[in-house]
Amino acid sequence: MPSADHRPHDDHDHDHDDDHAGHSHGPGGHVPSVTAANARRIQFVFVMTLVYAAVQAVGGWLSGSLALIADAGHMLSDAAALLLALIAYRIAARAPDKLRTYGFHRVRVLAALANGASLLLLVAWIVWEAVARFRSPTEVMAGPMLTVAVIGLLVNMAGAWVLMRGHQGDGNLRGALLHVIGDLLGSVGAIAAAIGILLTGWTVLDPILSVLVAVLVVRSAWSLVSDSLLILLQAVPRGMDVEAAQSGIAALPEVAEVGHFHAWTLTDERVIATVHVTPAPGTDPLTLPQKVARQLREHHAIEHVTVQVDPPGSLQGPH
């Protein structure tokens, strides 16, 4: 009996109930087209964001509004984040090589992490600036501020609509959408502040609403950062019960023992697992990889599994 059978399951086994299992590190056939569509959406929103940042900067300069100039910097940072996402898509599309056998998919995760981290930094800057304005209120020309803020709201609504129609399983797209939503909320806050200043003359409304927007953004930003860190740390995918997965494998009549089960996320949409099993008496060890892979695929949606078959008695735990 061989000491190990290193035969992972993949799409061939998914489509055919035969005795061999294919092995591919590439994602399913639908992913490249989905990724390309997401990249086109982000590219469109990037252009809109960059153009509006320029319009906002000019509007702030002409009106003497520091708030608009500061928000133009906010939009420019978001445009940079969107550009980073586009670069990440291009790098991630590169084929695997001898050094990086899994390819460059994790670049997308790194870009999502950078986007989330930049949002957190932005929130910190907004709060800092708001505190400074509480201490020393800044005069705001509410009329031009309102006009530019309304334009920004329309631009950001269009951008959010474009991105929301993309594949939301993509962390890179989610990061871009969070930036746009943050901009949208900022536009709403700017409109409310401008109207309030027009009616009351209270310039302190500007920093108050800025803090409220920051609180709304920080929760989503932290979620993006934490999800990316879990992927990079190769943590068990969200929602997966490791004990249930091992118990399901142990319940197969062909399996005597199961152990050394590991599952992690390669990218935000692709889960990989490895597991060691020993065959039950009378079981052909060559059939185990396919059966175990099918169990994990059907009950835990794991499409890429590496199964090692060990000699009987070499693993802990009863059948």
Task: Specify the CATH number for the domain of residue 50.
Answer: 1.20.1510.10
Domain end position, chosen among 232, 259, 276:
232
SS3 content of the chain, % helix, strand, coil (to 5): 65, 10, 30
28 pLDDT more than 70: no
227 with 241, same domain?
no
* pLDDT 10s digits, 162-189: 888 776 667 777 777 887 887 787 788 7
Q: Across 30-39, 102-111, 298-307, which has the greatest mean pLDDT?
A: 298-307
User: CA 69 to CA 58: how far, in whole Å?
Assistant: 8
Q: Average the pLDDT over 75-79 and give the result.
A: 75
Confidence class of residue 262 from pLDDT cuts 50, 70 and 90? Answer: very high
223 with 244, same domain?
no
pLDDT for 271 equals 86
158 with 83, same domain?
yes
One-letter amino acid of 235: A
27 pLDDT more than 60: no
Confidence class of residue 307 from pLDDT cuts 50, 70 and 90? Answer: very high
Domain end position, chosen among 186, 206, 232:
232
Confidence class of residue 66 from pLDDT cuts 50, 70 and 90? Answer: low
41 pLDDT more than 80: yes
User: CA 171 to CA 168: how far, in whole Å?
Assistant: 7
Count other Cβ atoms within 10 Å, centred on residue 90. 11
Do residues 208 and 137 touch, judged by C-beta distance below 8 A? no
* pLDDT 10s digits, 206-248: 777 777 777 777 877 787 788 888 888 888 888 788 888 989 9
Q: Which CATH number goes with the domain that contains 241?
A: 3.30.300.30
One-letter amino acid of 55: V
Q: What is the pTM of this model?
A: 0.64
pLDDT for 156 equals 86
32 pLDDT more than 80: no
pLDDT for 292 equals 93
* pLDDT 10s digits, 273-290: 999 999 999 888 888 899
* pLDDT 10s digits, 121-144: 878 887 887 888 788 877 777 888
Write out the two tokens for 189: 């806050």
- For residue 73, being part of any structural domain is answered with yes
Confidence class of residue 268 from pLDDT cuts 50, 70 and 90? Answer: low
150 pLDDT more than 50: yes
128 with 255, same domain?
no
Domain end position, chosen among 232, 261, 283:
232
What's the total number of domains in the chain?
2
228 with 295, same domain?
no
Task: Please tell me whether residue 317 adopts helix, strand or coil conformation.
Answer: coil
pLDDT for 318 equals 46
What lies within 8 Å, CB to CB, of 250 at 6+ separation is 257, 258, 317, 319
pLDDT for 276 equals 94
DSSP state of 173: H
212 with 261, same domain?
no
- For residue 253, being part of any structural domain is answered with yes
Q: Residue 218: which domain range? A: 31-232
Task: Please tell me whether residue 95 adopts helix, strand or coil conformation.
Answer: coil
Q: How many CA atoms lie within 13 A of 310 on its CB side?
A: 13
263 with 122, same domain?
no
| DSSP per-residue string spanning 60-82 | HHHHT-HHHHHHHHHHHHHHHHH
- For residue 266, being part of any structural domain is answered with yes
Burial 47-63 (b: 16+ CB within 10 A, else e): ebbbebbebbbebbeeb
Write out the two tokens for 170: 């993509």
Q: What are phi and psi of 285, to 5 degrees?
A: -60, -25
